A and B are shown apart, each in its own frame.
Chain A
Amino acid sequence: KAGVTQTPRYLIKTRGQQVTLSCSPISGHRSVSWYQQTPGQGLQFLFEYFSETQRNKGNFPGRFSGRQFSNSRSEMNVSTLELGDSALYLCASSLRGETEAFFGQGTRLTVV
């Protein structure tokens, strides 16, 4: 069974640009959550999607958005990038969002 796939693995963007990250969940998993990991803040929850609907959102500005498609694949978008957005962005999938979540390898975003 294929795991969670995130693309791309690495990105370098300039301040002010926008970026889109992609996540393909484990087959059969309908819940996709996104997390940001930084050295100072640890792993922080961004948002969760289930059946194409955002059910939950963390404390991040509106520049961070996402969506989920009918095949459960998800994308997150960050607009007007700031230096502080440099982080490892992780996607996790689970059956329904309540128990075990399995993570992808992450996308390392560097904003210069």
Chain B
Amino acid sequence: DQQVKQNSPSLSVQEGRISILNCDYTNSMFDYFLWYKKYPAEGPTFLISISSIKDKNEDGRFTVFLNKSAKHLSLHIVPSQPGDSAVYFCAANRAYNAGGTSYGKLTFGQGTILTVHP
């Protein structure tokens, strides 16, 4: 049972335009969500996070939106740059009701390959 899903395996965007990466989750116990960027054979790099008490969080060119009722989150990158080309993973955690089998466990989506063309 895949609790975090990224339904788009890939996304292609022109430089300067907006990139929108989507993620859906099924476990209502998740209350903290993160986005990571990853290059092949390297560890994921943390980009931005959002807790379930918010519906939006911004950091520079990156904005994450959370729709709890739809169990959906999205990452917006504006403007997109060629250096943004990488695999993007969303991940979910239980931060505010952690316990038992949730400690230290991020549940990841399968990733979306973003390609930004010059």
Contact = CB atoms under 8 A, between A and B. Distances in A.
Contacts, number: 76
A11 to B, nearest CB: 13
Q: Is the interface of A mostly helix, strand, loop or mixed?
A: strand
Contacts of B100: 56
Given A100-B49, A103-B44, A108-B41, A48 B34 contact: no
Given A90-B44, A98-B32, A103-B43, A31 B104 contact: yes
Interface residues of A, number: 30
B43 A101 contact: no
A6 B109 CA distance: 23
Shortest 9 CB-CB contacts between residues of A and residues of B: A48-B104, A97-B104, A103-B43, A98-B95, A55-B103, A43-B108, A33-B104, A56-B103, A98-B98
16 contacts: A6-B43, A31-B104, A32-B104, A33-B106, A42-B108, A42-B111, A45-B107, A48-B103, A56-B104, A90-B43, A94-B104, A98-B93, A98-B104, A99-B32, A103-B44, A106-B42
